[in-house]
A and B are shown apart, each in its own frame.
Chain A
Amino acid sequence: MNSNPIVGNSVPRKEGRDKVTGRSRYVDDMVLPNMLFGATVRSQIPRGRIKKVTFGPGIDWNEFVIVSSKDVPGKNCISLIGDDQPCLADQLVNHPEEPVLLLAHPDRHVLPKAVESVSMEYDALPAIFTIEESERRAQIVWGEDNTFKTYLIEKGELDGVWGQAAYIVEGEYTTGAQEQLYIENNGMIAAFDAAHGITVWGSLQCPYYIHKALMALSNLPAEKVRVVQMETGGAFGGKEEYPSMIAAHAALLAIKSGKPVKIIYDRMEDMAATTKRHPSRTRHRTAVSKEGKILGGEIDFTIDGGAYATLSSVVLSRGAIHAGGPYHWPNVRIRAKAVATNAPPHGAFRGFGAPQSLFAMERHMDRIAQTVGLSPAEIRRRNFLQPGQTTTTEQVVREPINLGKLLDRALEVSDYHAKQQRFANQNHLGSVKKGMGIAAFLHGAGFTGSGERYLSSVVGVEGCADGSVRVLVSSTEFGQGTNTVLSQIAAEALGLPYENVSMAQPDTRQVPNSGPTVASRTVMVVGKLVQSAALGIKQTLISSHLLAETYAADEFRAACQHYVAEHGQFRSWSRYEAPADIFWDDQKYRGEAYAAFAWAVYVAEVAVDLTTYGVSLKDFVALQEVGRVLHPLLARGQIIGGVAQGIGFCLYEKVVWQNGRMQNGQMTNYIMPTSADLPPIRVFFEELGNVYGAYGAKGIGELPMDGPAPAIVNAVEDALGIAFDFVPLLPEDIMDRLASSSPISGVSAGGGDR
């Protein structure tokens, strides 16, 4: 048996060698014989009826394969939660960039001109572009009332609290759309023949989402649809649902042409047409006691879902459940709503609603602190959830979490108090104003409520003919370290060296449905199933008397070889079973929302230059409790990468919209942080251990997206004494506010004496 634990060590990334040598195969690196290239003709207007399609002159259209909605063999939709989004628009279009026609040709270079040469005449219909326009219902663009979904979370008796309150604090907070901006654009290859059905290879997160969508689209049975994940160059949620659309398009072209078809988006198409983070608006009204304790409050959380329902209901759910932050609300009413507009559908992006509602919560805590006359640290300390208390969904906090201790530690390592005092004293000098900001937050791991029970994930572990072990999951690697950590878990469970474990390529013909690779669920939920399936292999070998209770790696190898030689294929399966004590009421939205929460306190140090109005980060502390850290190097990489995206969300990344269309769909004008923009991001883990996940791990991937934006905007307020309640916060926004508010000398004392 292996005496050195593998879990907890930073073993080499499984596919790392291929990545640093350029050998990894991404979808655009794959070429099939006789392959055609596909392109998409999209709507140019936000809403209307297509009257006429004209194929322009100067192009030999006979050379092209052309697909329209009439070529869909099954149901013309991208089947996900609902079936409202067409695969190809049939007459009616509901957003700019909506796919209408598909073209394929052997020469990829002729496609851009061909796409431009297709012109469409429309009967335009009035369109709506903001949450407010959607709420006014001047135009009904979806369903009966423009509303995809609402939730109501109620706890306690809110009506009585307003009379007892010493303070009633109100605020409205908004967040903008954000592009995932994986560096590898979306892409798919599809092949079709009658005997084998459809096969697609692509850049994707969720093989079985695509499998389901292609079955509905093609009317083919499960065994005639095969989805294979290629190496995937970043995803961040952006390859959760939209790849089903691209796979469907490539499949339709392959079915019609009888040839393999590759569709690779260029950057502008990817940015304009695929999903982004939902824009949001959150309103808080909070009753607070004289001592600064939250007595109760109302939270209205609204997101813009774009033109089709896609995943908005689930994003909304997570945002609503996280809206109260890591605080104890004796009484609360959370109303959440996802509304329709005529923009391309917004979708999954790391954090999935929580970064939006937590931005509001953490900005609002600073507002409450000012109203009550307490420091940002103290107001949080007085309201933190304690073990035994309940969350807004009345989930009892069972973990021995001590948020006050996390806060103390974050303040200590960031040197918060000394710096804040120093900045307050010095900010009247010069034109650079400095400030410190805090964000405290939580992030639930795994699907919400009954979600994991419905998913009913299955994983397999295989003992191979050569005596090695292979993990069979549809959970995908796209940079986070799925391959590495799941291999570690299997190796640890079997007491084998890490090198003896490999991962099967996610291929729906080879691997079971272990659920989508989303929701920070892979290590915690799928990892635990891998652990139990691996133990099944060991138990079988022991009970077959091929292996003793304790063994060396070569004894395991020999036993495994022996078993396969005698019995053939040797696989052990494990299916998710919900813990017996978990209760969730889908109607009342009450109960155990998540099997575990990760907890964090982040501290930002900013300098605002009043010459350029630019905000630069001088230091960033990210301190979190994520259960046991299974791979310190990967975990730290996840946190730093998430913080960097959070900094982009806050200070750089603004989607400029015009009539529902993104105007800045290029890397030259949609600005993400470079290596020269980011501060040192200092990561600290506090490990409590969690009995639930694999070896005590909780989810980690999304957590770091939640904290940076509020911490930074809180720090900007500390520096300038001006409250900004929106992100992205750009230099021009700061300039405008300073120009319209008091002269600069009036704010020069900074936030220190507020």
Chain B
Amino acid sequence: MSDFRGSHSRAEISLVVNGEPKKVRAYPMERLLDVLRHQLQFTGAKEGCGEGECGSCAVLMDGALVNSCLVPVLQARGSSIITIEGLATAEALDALQEAFLECGGAQCGICTPGMILASVHLLNRKPDPTIDEIREGLSGNLCRCTGYSQIIEAVAEAARRRSSA
């Protein structure tokens, strides 16, 4: 992690996180990941590699799946961000969260937030994906524990439940 401040000064940046408007003061090149974690306390986004390879920092930005370690916060100005904390309501888990729990999709849990958000993104585009489409759709998110099978089963199960709901 290099010093991103250079000669810049902090700017006020507005964005919406999990439906709530937020204002932060941050350096333009500060990573969205750090702003979410350190300023806004959304610690569900995790740093695994710091170079956009593992997907554990993935969030949804205006509906697109992004690695928040690669997004300068200035680029997120005015956008709507969804983190793992924004999926469940007070009463109920999201169908994908339920399915991850039931199918064994979370082991150590560190890739889980990014993996679930990648799954949300996949099902938004393809509500009824084939197994190969799930494998492809999650291939930007690394998991070292599960060998992916139970994650893939969870996504297929959530898709089934969503389509029958």
Contact = CB atoms under 8 A, between A and B. Distances in A.
A653 to B, nearest CB: 11
B149 A640 contact: yes
B109 A675 contact: no
A672 to B, nearest CB: 6
A28 B116 CA distance: 20
Contacts of B104: 10, 13, 633-634, 636-637
A233 B44 CA distance: 13
A19 B109 contact: yes
Interface in B90-129: 93, 97, 100-113, 116
Contacts of B84: 20-22
A13 B147 CA distance: 18
A20 B144 contact: no
Interface stretch (A104-112, A424-432, A439-447): A104-112
Interface string B44-76: 111111110110100000000000000000000
Contact of A667 (B42, B54, B101, B143): B54
B136 A676 contact: yes
Contact of B101 (A12, A182, A673): A12
Interface in A1-44: 10, 12-13, 15-26, 28-29
Contact of A181 (B93, B101, B144): B144
B106 A13 contact: yes
Contacts of A675: 134-136, 138-139, 141, 143, 148, 151-152
B144 A21 contact: no
A641 B46 CA distance: 21
B107 A641 contact: yes
B85 interface: yes
B147 A21 contact: no
A183 B147 contact: no
Interface in B18-53: 37, 42-51, 53
B53 A667 contact: yes
A22 B43 contact: yes
- B93, B140, B147, most chain A CB atoms within 10 A: B147
Given A22-B84, A112-B1, A641 B145 contact: yes
Given A16-B101, A640-B147, A681-B149, A667 B49 contact: yes
B143 A183 contact: yes
A19 B106 contact: yes
B87 A21 contact: yes
Contacts of B49: 267, 666-667
A184 B50 CA distance: 11
Contact of B144 (A28, A232, A672): A672
Nearest to A234: B108
- B111, B144, B148, most chain A CB atoms within 10 A: B144
A233 B46 contact: yes
Contacts of A534: none
Given A19-B112, A22-B113, A108-B1, A637 B150 contact: yes
A645 interface: yes
Nearest to A635: B104
Nearest to B143: A183
Given A184-B46, A478-B108, A236 B144 contact: yes
A668 interface: yes
A680 interface: yes
Contacts of B54: 183, 667
B112 to A, nearest CB: 5
B107 A637 contact: yes
Given A184-B108, A480-B107, A667-B54, A680 B149 contact: yes
A636 B150 contact: yes
A674 interface: yes
Contacts of A489: none
Given A267-B50, A479-B107, A666-B51, A643 B144 contact: no
A3 B123 CA distance: 40
A272 to B, nearest CB: 14
Interface residues of B, number: 59
A223 interface: no
A113 interface: yes
Contacts of B111: 183, 233
A503 to B, nearest CB: 15
B106 A183 contact: no
Contacts of A637: 104, 107, 145-146, 150
A535 interface: no
B5 interface: yes
A233 B109 contact: yes
Nearest to A184: B110
Given A22-B83, A266-B50, A667-B51, A110 B3 contact: yes
B11 interface: no
A610 interface: no
Nearest to B2: A112
Contacts of B144: 180-183, 234, 236, 641, 645, 672
A636 B88 CA distance: 27
Given A13-B101, A183-B142, A20 B53 contact: no
A231 interface: yes
A185 interface: yes
Interface in A234-269: 234-236, 266-267
A179 to B, nearest CB: 10
A614 to B, nearest CB: 16
Contacts of A640: 146-150
Contacts of A688: none
Contacts of B113: 22
- B87, B88, B106, most chain A CB atoms within 10 A: B106
Contacts of A643: 147
B135 A641 contact: no
Contacts of A674: 139-140, 142, 148
A108 B38 CA distance: 12
A644 B148 contact: yes
Contacts of B105: 20
Nearest to A266: B50
A236 B143 CA distance: 13
B97 A21 contact: yes
Contacts of A680: 149
Contact of B135 (A10, A235, A676): A676
Nearest to B152: A675
A678 interface: yes
B3 A231 contact: no
Interface of A: 10, 12-13, 15-26, 28-29, 108-110, 112-113, 180-185, 231-236, 266-267, 478-481, 633-634, 636-637, 640-645, 666-668, 672-676, 678, 680-681
5 contacts: A20-B97, A236-B144, A645-B144, A672-B142, A674-B142
Given A109-B3, A235-B108, 10 more contacts: A21-B44, A21-B85, A182-B110, A183-B46, A231-B109, A267-B50, A633-B104, A636-B104, A675-B134, A678-B148
